[in-house]
Amino acid sequence: METRRTKLLFLACATFSIIHLVKSQNQQGFISLDCGLPPNESPYNEPLTNLTYISDANFTQGGKTGNIQNNSDTGFISKPYRVLRYFPDGKRNCYSLKVTEGTKYLIRTFFIYGNYDGLNTSPRFDLYLGPNIWTSIDVLRPGVADGAVEEIIHITRSSILDICLVKTGTSTPMISAIELRPLRYDTYAARTGSLKSLEHIYFTNSDKAIRYPKDVYDRVWLPYLEPEWSQINTKLNVSDFTDGYDPPRDVVTTAAIPTNVSEPLTYTWNLESSDDETYCYLYFAEIQQLKANETREFKIMANGRIDYISYRPRSFGAQTLSNLASLKCEGGVCRVQLSKTPKSTLPPLLNALEIFSVINFPQSETSTDDVIAIKNIQSTYKLSRISWQGDPCVPKQFSWIGLSCNVIDISTPPRIIVLDLSSSGLTGFILPSIQNLTQLRELDLSNNNLTGEVPEFLATMKSLLLIDLRGNNLRGSVPRALLERADKDGLKLFVDPNIKQRGSRKPTSRLVAIVASISCVAVIITVLVLVFIFRRRNSLTRKVIRPSLEMKNRRFTNSEVKEMTNNFQVVLGKGGFGVVCHGLLNNEQVAVKVLSQSSTQGYKEFKTEVELLLRVHHVNLVSLIGYCDEGNDLALIYEFMENGNLKEHLSGKRSGHGGSILNWSSRLKIAIESALGIEYLHIGCKPPMVHRDVKSTNILLGQHFEAKLADFGLSRSFLVGSKTHVSTNVAGTLGYLDPEYYKKNWLTEKSDVYSFGILLLEIITGQPVIDESREKSYIVEWAKSMLANGDIESIMDPKLHRDYDTGSSWKALELAMSCINPSSTERPNMTRVAHELNECLEIYNLSKRSQDANSTNPTGHSISFLSDTPSAR
């Protein structure tokens, strides 16, 4: 393994004189940093690959430049790897790269020592990706000669990617190059974690290494051939049927076959640890013209288990087969074996393969909003603190000096709660960016050279408990709102004596008299109003005194509502609020929710829903077209969702109305879209909102079964100021209620996550949430009892008729169970939920493509290559 990785390093860095240049491909999204390159030499095109490299100077704070020594081992190294940057100062030094959030990248780092420092001593240090350790680097470890390379496939969680070098001993961290290449999102799908590259191999007796521009993703393919194998090749064109993997032509126009045609073709690889999990991607193409009496058919075995009984490569067409779930290998030794079937007249072949191990990055990065705010503060004030690199909060041993963070658990993004910039040489005004640190509890800007006035925005930061502005050159007065915060909320405010405190002087006697007079008048008015209210209540028992809605732009009269519904003729559904009627508005279908005067939902929830939906807009939230608020006549007018609610489809009630039982991929898409709607409420709304009533009847389906979240009457804002929860009376639907919320009256966004977990169980199982006819009436207890048997078929909805794959369904089920964890801190957030559901759908689509590809083989019988059926959880 190490020998091959050494070869990868030097072939990747070599001059590639044996590769013929082709027309340059599009480098959109590529990031190629030549570490240590002087800015005045940037950018440049590497002449043999035509890749554009730039200096790393603007992506890291410190470091010094070194040059590798010329000798027989380094003489062939090409320009991007001949200089390096080393970091003699500080514990952690980071590169901060702007990337596209949610994009799958191939990330590659090079470390070519080249005895640049004349010490001939191997640098040893740790490499981090954001707040998580990636690997430990030992540049001169045995078998690696003069350098190291690390490569992973990783989906970015934010728009900033930090790659950090951490000093662990006496040697100095160094790096030669960083390369990022965006990949298609539906390729290289891992059930969990990221993928660490172990091999990109194509089978040939040539000595050509292949990378960009022949490979559009700039993977580095190494030639390889076992002594007991023979090579076959073709000059004919080979079509690509690999669904986005796009292997280079030179990779699939050669193949290995066993020299002894009766023997199997076996490839073995070692994992770094026996506990590692692995993914293998096999590339097949029949590249020989077969005669009428010739057949090439073989079975594929992984670790001694048959995964394809009979596979026939596509004639001059490349296909990719891979395991849909990660595979563990006994003792860390993995084996794929191809053996000809009795029908076959020709030996098996294999054109290329890629091997990865799973690497997990569990620690969430600091909240993106906080990172943007603190980096803006850092940039504007020109703070050059060496510790201010990488993630501000995690890992804790590297958190930025002057910051304190609230780190709840590894799945929840940390938040900055203390900012101490005292005695930091700050000049200029107090930055408005500070107010974007919405969880900030303490702000210390004392003993600097700040000028201007004390800003009004500090009073709006409800989480602040302490502000220290002493020892600056501030002028003017303290805003009244800030003084009121100090008086009423216990805010500790420290300012210099020269700063006037408006409104702090004692009122004059004249003012006292005025105030007293006003108070008397106010008392009289209050008494009169109360008398009027009591009289009014006695005569109008059904009238309700309530605040009016201020939004006028979408308000309809009751007569207009009657007209659009044809006097409420067609009733679509009923509930505790009243009825939902079909309507027409400007020849467009609408749904009209009419609030009954006896409704328990009440005006408060009606008003909540109107005000929320008039200010938020998201493709996965049902759109409010208008409302009616006329006396006791209340109505909400929504966009029309042709396919009703999800509950009707899961129960089969829609089958008599043109509906159909949802298949597995449709269910996953509905789950993803619902999760995205909830995620928007949690992180896209200002302030953030909790829905409080996530359930299958509140997931509405449009004409093409697109899902939208509905019914926001119970929604509440959360995380106000420094609070971690909102104390409120319990509201919601029995069966979906978060037990922690139910017991403690503590509402957080994780309460919606629990409800979504119940919804996901409904989607997976087709079971009612509560069914007294079951031995375990509650769906959670029923699911746990089924899980004890480890039989996926007993859990999955029988109406799916087994049209699902085990990898995707197990992952979805495990996600649902994590959402309903009794402890809210152990539940994932909705961003993570949506991401993992996307992975479920990718796994299923890959499985379907694999089956479809195999169905073209008349005698092929697929059992899902390298599928790893999970045992009982």
- Whether 860 has a pLDDT exceeding 80, the answer reads no
Q: Each residue of 470-482: pLDDT tens digit?
A: 999 999 999 999 9
Residue 604 has what pLDDT? 65
Cα–Cα distance, 753 to 751 (Å, whole number):
5
Q: Is 426 helix (H, G, I), strand (E, B) or coil?
A: coil
**What's the average model confidence in pLDDT over 197-207?**
95
In CATH, the architecture of 646-855 is Orthogonal Bundle (1.10)
What pTM did the predictor assign?
0.62
Taking the C-alpha atoms of residue 239 and residue 266, their distance in angstroms, rounded to an integer, is: 26
**Six-digit token string for 568:** 């409420």
CA distance to 29, 55, 355, per residue, from 196 (Å): 21, 26, 9
Element (H, E) at 417: strand 415-420
Residue partners of 541: CB distance under 8 A and separation at least 6? none
- How far apart are alpha carbons 322 and 252 in whole angstroms? 16
Question: Which distant-in-sequence residues (6+ apart) come within 8 Å of 413 by Cβ?
Answer: 364, 365, 366, 367, 368, 829
If pLDDT is split at 50, 70 and 90, which confidence band does 194 have?
Answer: very high
Q: Outline which parts of the chain fall under CATH 3.80.10.10.
A: 389-501
Helix locations, 407-489, DSSP H = 480-488
Give the confidence band of 545 by pLDDT, cuts at 50, 70, 90: very low
Residue list for the binding site for ATP: 593
Burial of 623 from C-beta contacts in 10 A (0-12 / 13-18 / 19+)? middle
- The percent of residues in the chain predicted with pLDDT above 90, rounded, is 55
Most confidently predicted of 76-85, 435-444, 552-561, 641-650:
435-444
Residue of 143 and 558 predicted with greater confidence: 558
Is residue 550 scored above 70 in pLDDT? Answer: no
For CATH 1.10.510.10, the residue range(s) in the chain are 646-855
749-765 vs 830-855: helix crossing angle, rounded to 10:
20
Q: How far apart are CA 68 and CA 113, in angstroms?
A: 7
Q: 70: Cβ–Cβ under 8 A, 6 or more apart, which residues? A: none
Among 449, 458, 410, which residue's Cα sits nearest to residue 429?
449
pLDDT of 376: 93
pLDDT band, very low/low/confident/very high, at 715 (cuts 50, 70, 90): low
- Highest mean pLDDT, choosing among 464-478, 547-561, 677-691: 464-478
Q: Can you give the pLDDT at residue 389? A: 95
pLDDT of residue 15: 46
What lies within 8 Å, CB to CB, of 797 at 6+ separation is 650, 764, 765, 766, 767
Q: In what side-by-side order are the strands of the sheet with 571-575?
A: 571-575, 578-585, 588-595, 633-639, 624-630
pLDDT at 503 over 60: no
Let me know: does 177 contact 37? Beta carbons within 8 Å: no
How would residue 245 be classed by pLDDT, with cut points 50, 70 and 90?
Answer: very high
Residue 20 pLDDT > 70? no
Confidence of residue 572 (pLDDT cuts 50, 70, 90): confident
Here the contacts of 441-444 (C-beta below 8 Å, separation 24 or greater) are: 441/417, 441/465, 441/466, 441/722, 442/404, 442/417, 442/418, 442/466, 443/419, 443/467, 443/468, 444/418, 444/419, 444/420, 444/468
Q: Within the chain, which residue ranges are assigned CATH 3.30.200.20? A: 558-639
Contact 651, 697 (CB under 8 A): no
Binding-site residues? 593
What CATH number matches the domain at 389-501, 3.40.50.300, 3.40.50.2300, 3.80.10.10, 3.40.50.720? 3.80.10.10
The continuous run of DSSP H or E covering 706 comes out as: none
Q: Identify the architecture of domain 558-639 in CATH.
A: 2-Layer Sandwich (3.30)
Rounded Cα distance, 753 and 678, in Å: 9
Indicate whether 814 pLDDT > 70: yes
For 275, residues 6+ apart whose C-beta sits below 8 A from its C-beta are: 328, 332
Q: Single out the residue of 809, 800, 801, 669 nearest to residue 324, CA to CA.
A: 809
Phi and psi dihedrals of 672, rounded to 5? Answer: -60, -50
pLDDT at 791 > cutoff 50: yes
Q: Residues spanned by CATH 2.60.120.430 within the chain? A: 2-183
Greatest mean pLDDT among 418-432, 716-730, 745-759, 786-800 lies in: 418-432
User: What pLDDT sits at residue 561?
Assistant: 92
Residue in the structure block whose two tokens are 């002028």: 475
What residues are labeled active site? Answer: 693
In angstroms, rounded to a whole number, what is the distance separating the alpha carbons of residues 196 and 201?
A: 15
For residue 529, is pLDDT > 70? no
Residue 183 pLDDT > 80, yes or no? yes
User: In the chain, what is the straight-line distance between the N-terminal and C-terminal CA atoms, in Å?
Assistant: 33
- Cα separation, 419 vs 437, in Å, equals 9
Q: How far apart are the C-alpha atoms of 500 and 187, rounded to whole Å?
A: 63
Report the share of the chain in percent with pLDDT over 70: 82
User: Omega before 507 cis (within 30°)?
Assistant: no
Confidence of residue 718 (pLDDT cuts 50, 70, 90): low
Cα–Cα distance between 391 and 615 in angstroms, integer? 33
Contact 695, 733 (CB under 8 A): yes
319: pLDDT strictly greater than 80: yes
CB atoms within 10 A of CB 768: 18
Task: Provide the pLDDT for residue 796.
Answer: 92
Cα distance between residue 287 and residue 603, in whole Å: 72
Does residue 719 carry a pLDDT above 60?
no
**CATH code linked to domain 203-361:** 2.60.120
pLDDT of 615 reads 65
Lowest mean pLDDT among 243-257, 288-302, 620-634: 620-634
- 3-class secondary structure for 564-587? HCCCCCCEEEEECCEEEEEEEECC
**What residue type is assigned to position 553 of the chain?**
N
Question: What's the confidence (pLDDT) of residue 853?
Answer: 60
- Computed over every residue of the chain, the mean pLDDT equals 84
Q: pLDDT at position 825, please?
A: 84
H/E segment holding residue 742: helix 739-744
> Taking residues 547-566, what's their average pLDDT?
73
Number of C-beta neighbours around residue 750 at 10 A: 27
- Per residue in 32-50, pLDDT tens? 999 999 999 999 999 889 9
Hunting for tokens 């986005």 — which residue is that? 244
User: Does residue 858 carry a pLDDT above 50?
Assistant: no
Ranges 67-71, 195-199, 795-799, 826-830: which has the least confidence: 67-71
Average pLDDT over residues 811-829: 91
- Per residue in 395-428, is it b (16+ CB within 10 Å) or e — as a string? beebbbebbbbbbeeebbbbbbbbbbbeebebee
pLDDT, mean of residues 75-93: 90
Q: Is the pLDDT of residue 379 over 90?
A: yes
Q: Do the beta carbons of residue 454 and residue 430 sit within 8 Å?
A: yes
pLDDT for 864 beyond 80: no
Q: Give the pLDDT score at 626.
A: 86
Reply yes or no: is the peptide bond before residue 687 cis, omega within 30 of 0: yes
CATH topology of domain 2-183: Jelly Rolls (2.60.120)
Listed ranges 485-489, 529-533, 712-716; the one with the highest mean pLDDT = 485-489
Question: Looking at residue 713, what is its pLDDT?
Answer: 66
Helices 779-787, 806-819: crossing angle, 10 deg rounding? 130
Q: Assess whether pLDDT exceeds 90 at residue 870.
A: no
Specify the pLDDT at position 731.
61
Token pair of 708, please?
């939208």
136 confidence band (pLDDT: 50, 70, 90):
very high
Count of CA atoms in the C-beta half-sphere (13 A) of 496: 19
